[in-house]
Amino acid sequence: MEHMSTDDEMGILICEDNKLAKKTLSLLIEKEGYSTDTAEDGIEALHLITENNYDLIVVDIHLPYHSGLELIKYLRSDMNKNTPVLIVSAFSDPQVQKQAGDLGINGYIVKPFNPGELLEKIRSICKK
């Protein structure tokens, strides 16, 4: 059955190159009633960001072709969009967290994450 997004449904883009992590995030988020699109690399993510408006973008720092930070920079400066961004990454370098904070992200969750904590953060960002 094809998934059709409705106007009252929140759309979330998941940018994650690890197939298992992507599937886990997708299932968790969809169970909460959000619709999701997924991208496995920076090129695919850029294409989706350009073509669609999302209520939230969940992004990993380490992506092939364009890093998560490059995607956020593009979103903020080139596209001038204030779409909320939540970083979910195994990479917890304070310098990267600071860079991400300077780009105006809405949260940073370190993997392995607690599913309840992740969903709580998403709910608070999306106000659902």
pLDDT tens for each residue of 61-107 = 999 998 999 999 999 999 999 999 999 998 888 898 899 999 999 99
Q: 101-116, pLDDT tens digit by residue?
A: 999 999 999 999 999 9
Within 8 A by CB and 6+ apart from 100, the residues are 61, 68, 69, 72, 87, 108
Write out the DSSP string of 40-93: SSHHHHHHHHHH---SEEEE-S--SSS-HHHHHHIIIIIS-----EEEEES---
Q: Considering its fold, how many domains does the chain have in total?
A: 1
Residue 37 lies in a domain: yes
Does residue 75 lie in a domain region?
Answer: yes
Decide: helix, strand or coil at residue 5: coil
Do 118 and 55 contact (CB within 8 A), yes or no?
no
Domain CATH code at residue 39: 3.40.50.2300
* Alpha carbon distance 93, 60 (integer Å): 13
> Could you give the maximum distance between any two Cα atoms of the chain, in Å?
44
Residue 118 covered by a domain: no
- Is residue 117 included in any domain, yes or no? no
Residue 76 inside a domain? The answer is: yes
Domain span at residue 21 reads 11-107
What is the per-residue pLDDT for 92?
A: 80
Global pTM reads: 0.90
